[in-house]
Amino acid sequence: MKTKNLENFQKLVSKEESGWLGKFLHYKSNQKMLDNSSKVAVNVLEALRAKKMTQKDLAEKMNVSAQQINKIVKGQQNLTFGTIGKLEDALGITLMEIIDYKSVNSAKTNAIQKRKKEKITLNDSFSNEFIKKENTHMA
């Protein structure tokens, strides 16, 4: 125990870089992918548990190595659409949904209509408050 504490202390005061900054920068630059990989991992693990399957069973069903499945369930794999499709088919679950195509004009029109509606609601609220205050002062 003493030796381990001494080793840890020496690492702490050492002038060698710990690698922490590199790991942090990697996480920061890949945060969205890593977060999504973690979500997939949780869903895959839950599906395996529900179906009473092992990672090895899944690997065989997908025709991939057990090591690849292990990386997936650890959230360490940057998954392709192909791999996600294989996972979905093998487990009978949906991991990802792709939104339907909408034209740019349609998206702009919907956004403009939404903003106009919000402005009307805000203006009506302001007008109602103003009228209430005017009526209070006149009485």
Over the stretch 13-40, which tens digit does the pLDDT of each residue have? 777 777 878 888 878 888 888 899 999 9
Would you say residue 5 has pLDDT above 90? no
Q: pTM score, two decimals? A: 0.58
| Residue 6, both tokens | 């001494």
pLDDT at 18: 74
Q: How far is CA 10 from CA 4, 13, 21, 34, 98, in A?
A: 10, 5, 19, 32, 51
* Mean pLDDT across 57-78: 94
Over the stretch 63-72, which tens digit does the pLDDT of each residue have? 999 999 999 9
With b for 16 or more beta-carbon neighbours within 10 A and e for fewer, the 61-93 pattern comes to: ebebeeeebebbbebebebeeebeebbbebbee
CA pair distance 96, 94, nearest whole angstrom: 6
pLDDT at 139: 53
Over the stretch 91-128, which tens digit does the pLDDT of each residue have? 999 998 888 877 767 666 666 666 666 665 555 555 56
